[in-house]
Amino acid sequence: MKTTMYFILLLVLSGQVAFAQDQEENKHEYKHRGGTHNHFDIDLGLNNWLEDGSNPGGAAYEVKPWGSWYVALKSINDTHTGGKFHLLWGPDVSFYTFKFQDPSVRLTKTDNEVIFSREDISGARKSKLEVIYLGFSVVPMLQFGDRHGHSHWDHGDFAFGSNSGGFRVGVGAYGGYRIGSKVKYVVNSDGKNKDKDHDNFFLENWRYGLRFQAGFREVDFFFNYDLNEIFSEGRGPALNAISFGVIL
């Protein structure tokens, strides 16, 4: 029995040593590789919009935070520019969902503007605006320690790395072009009825703004602020979108 236990213990210790050596070799390779490498990131978070810098509480277009999802699929190039500096850049597809606080709200496009109105609808469950953008972002990052601890999709595998990843922080910019938009309504009336309307709703075609992101070890966060207004000037309320969440 003791011999078996010693044998198992020896195998475990050998495995731990081999694992530690592999981790050190991987970190050493990453540290000295330099240049640019590519990985796949997913921004997952929530949306809202601001009117004159604050939440438009009480307005028909007030957004319900939970359910107003922000998702971006990103092909990220990480360029080590020297020392502690990295440049994260690449294309993405981002999906905005603005779920209205009041499910009876309807978004109507007239000849000159869009109008948000509360309708007398029995059984209204959901009312939301969805917008899709094709974009590009550039974020200079200051990296303290080894970024090997950052989690991301790399060549088809989800890698968490080791616990040695340091703190990282950066501020950059992004831009994008709207490639789709629609409103969706869900009403419980003799079963679940869904109504979709694809239109531009006088939404601005271009989206651009500032991005802040920071991380420590295996966790990264982002915050986006759109400098442009969601709707064309004079065509709808003056709203600036924000989004925040985690980077997978």
| 226 shares its domain with 167 | yes
| 92 shares its domain with 175 | yes
Please write the tens of the pLDDT for every residue from 183-223.
Answer: 999 998 776 788 999 999 999 999 999 999 999 988 999 99
| 51 shares its domain with 21 | no
Q: What is the pLDDT of residue 238?
A: 97
Write b or e for each residue in 80-106: b if 16 or more Cβ atoms lie within 10 A of its Cβ, otherwise e. Answer: beeeeebbbbbebebbbbbbbbbbbbb
Q: Global pTM?
A: 0.79
Please write the tens of the pLDDT for every residue from 125-171.
Answer: 999 999 999 999 999 999 987 644 455 555 444 444 433 468 999 99
How many Å apart are CA 67 and CA 69, to the nearest integer?
A: 6
Q: How many domains does the chain have?
A: 2
| 15 shares its domain with 49 | no
| 178 shares its domain with 125 | yes
| 217 shares its domain with 229 | yes
| 80 shares its domain with 168 | yes
Q: What is the pLDDT of residue 219?
A: 93
Domain, as residue range, for 109: 35-247
| 44 shares its domain with 157 | yes
Q: Are 204 and 234 in contact (CB under 8 A)?
A: no
| 26 shares its domain with 139 | no
CATH number at residue 157: 2.40.160
Residue 203 gets the label, from left (phi > 0), alpha (psi -120 to 50) or beta, of beta
Name residues whose C-beta falls within 8 Å of residue 7's C-beta, 6 or more positions apart in sequence. none
| 110 shares its domain with 214 | yes
| 8 shares its domain with 88 | no
| 99 shares its domain with 53 | yes
Q: Are 153 and 220 in contact (CB under 8 A)?
A: no
